[in-house]
Structure 1
């Protein structure tokens, strides 16, 4: 697992290719990331399903309650099948753009 911090955003990338252990590590270490916006980088995973991505739903809900962004980046997925409560995008640039928009919305009180 590789963690990069840029300003108020943390990008967490799976470096081992084992999705289940990555999910467990992110869940167990969540307290260290909770004060930042989070980008989960799953670009190296080509065989994940929507059900796999849904496993991040509890973390996403908890993080959004704390008024922080939680974005999952995965390139090959049926985005229409993803629940509305999860933000899933195909690129890191798009994830950063969404975080900027959500920050502006929070600053404006939306």
Structure 2
């Protein structure tokens, strides 16, 4: 499968995750979100950028419980809860946000 961004076709797996992490750009994230009917706000970018930092440090995409806890620690309790994250990423905060961040599918996600 592929996604077209700025006239360039990028390879994705069957779930829409980039197969080559170096293909990621903010334009890729914006296009993926647009296809899901979402306009990325500063709050979305905060989570996406958090995930990119987390991945570069631990080399793993966090499952939703780990993500919620880690975001709470870094961004505060009002953002480190499932309701807030599901409001931003209704298809699943870990799955959807990791896809927008250009990361592999989180472990434990079906």
TM-score, structure 1 length as denominator?
Answer: 0.29
In proportion to residue count, which structure has more helix?
2
RCO (CA 8 Å, sep 6+): is it higher in 1 or 2? 2
In proportion to residue count, which structure has more strand?
1
